[in-house]
A = this chain, B = another copy of it.
Amino acid sequence: MTDNFAARLETTAQEVAAALEALLSETVLDGEIARPGYLLAAMRHGVLNGGKRLRPFLVVETARLLGAPELAARRVAAALECIHCYSLIHDDLPSMDDDDLRRGQPTVHVAFDEATAILAGDALLTLAFDILSSPETDLPADAKLRLVNQLARASGIGGMVGGQSLDLDAERVAPDEAGIVKLQAMKTGALLRYACAAGAIAAGADDQVLARMTRFGEIIGLAFQLADDLLDVTSDAATLGKAAGKDAGRGKGTLVSLHGVAAARQRLDGLVEEAAELLEPFGGKAETLRQAAGFIASREH
C-alpha cells in the first residue's frame, strides 16, 4: 500500500471514529434522549476500538468520487459501522463464536455481561437506522429512504444475518460450493456491497453509475472473503490475532479449501483486475478506490 493511500485510510478512520464518538456521547444535541450509562458504555466499547473502518472508508471514498456532501457521507459511513460493530458483538457471544478477545481487548460480553452485550448490539443496530433517517443527515428524503431500505436488505435475513445463520448451519452440514458462495456473499459480501452503493446513493448517482459501484462493491466483497480465507490457511496465529486455521479446523469449507491456494490467488488477482476495469470511466479520480481493491485483496486488512 502506498504511503498516500495509508494516510487517507487513517484519516478517514479518524474522521469516522470522531463521528461515532459524537453519536455515542452521553448528551445528544436535541436533548430528547435519555441514555442509560452502562448500556452506552458497552456500545462505546464495541465501537470505539481502533478499527480500520474499512466499510466506512468505502462509503466515504465512493461518495467523494461521485461528489456527495462530505458530512452526510460520513454519517452514512458511521451508520454502516454501527451495523458492522453490532454484528461483531453478537457474533462473539458464548452461544455464537464464543470469543473472549477482539483486537486484543475483552469482547463486550466479557467486559460487561452477556445480557448487556445483546442489548448493546440491538441498540447499535437500531442507532444505524436512526442516524440514516435523522434530519441531521443532510440528503434528499428519497436518497435517505433508499439508504435505509438497502441497509435493511443488506443486513437482514436476506443479507448479513441470514449469512450468519447459514454459517451456523454449515457447522452441522457442510455446504457445497454454491452454498459457500451464497453464505459468504450474504455474511460478509452484503455490507461491503452496500458500502459502495451507499456512497453512490448519497451522491445522487444515476442508475447506471449506481449499478457500476454496486458491482464494484460486490467484487470487493468477494476479494475480501477470498483474502480472508487465504489468510486463514497461510498465516500463523501471531500475525492473525486469532487462532489460525480456525475456520478450517471447524470443518467450514472455503473456496481455498476446495480449489487450493494457487487457484485462489489467481482468482483474487482476477477480481482486482475486474474492480479496476469498473473504475476506468472515472480515470485518475478513482485512484484511491483502485488502491482500496488492491489493499483488500492483500493480506493486510
**What number of copies of this chain does the assembly contain?**
2
Residues A89-131 near B (CB distance < 8 A) = 90, 93, 95-96, 113-116, 118-119, 121-123, 125-127, 129-130
Query: Would A118 and B118 count as touching, CB distance under 8 A?
Result: yes
Q: List 28 A-B contacts (CB under 8 A).
A: A33-B157, A33-B158, A34-B158, A34-B182, A36-B157, A36-B165, A36-B166, A36-B169, A39-B157, A43-B157, A90-B122, A93-B115, A115-B168, A116-B168, A119-B161, A119-B164, A123-B156, A123-B161, A125-B125, A125-B126, A126-B152, A127-B152, A127-B157, A129-B148, A129-B149, A130-B156, A132-B148, A145-B148
Query: Would B36 and A162 count as touching, CB distance under 8 A?
Result: yes
Query: Would B165 and A38 count as touching, CB distance under 8 A?
Result: yes
Question: Measuring CB to CB, which residues of chain A are less than 8 angstroms from any residue of chain B?
Answer: 28, 32-36, 38-40, 43, 86, 90, 93, 95-96, 113-116, 118-119, 121-123, 125-127, 129-130, 132-135, 141-142, 144-146, 148-149, 151-153, 155-158, 161-162, 164-166, 168-169, 182, 186
Q: Which residues of B contact A33 (CB under 8 A)?
A: 153, 157-158
A-B interface, 5 closest residue pairs, ranked by CB to CB distance from nearest: A33-B158, A130-B152, A126-B156, A95-B114, A39-B165
Complex Cα distance, B86 from A132, in Å, reads: 21
Complex Cα distance, B122 from A155, in Å, reads: 9
Complex Cα distance, B142 from A44, in Å, reads: 31
Q: Which residues of B contact A28 (CB under 8 A)?
A: 158
Chain B CB count within 10 A is highest, among A32, A93, A162, A186, for A162
Q: Please judge, given known A-B contacts A122-B121, A126-B161, A145-B141, whether A32 and B115 are in contact too, CB under 8 Å.
A: no
Q: Which residues of B contact A145 (CB under 8 A)?
A: 133, 141, 144-145, 148
Q: Which residues of B contact A149 (CB under 8 A)?
A: 129-130, 133-135
Q: Please judge, given known A-B contacts A123-B161, A161-B122, A169-B36, whether A113 and B130 are in contact too, CB under 8 Å.
A: no
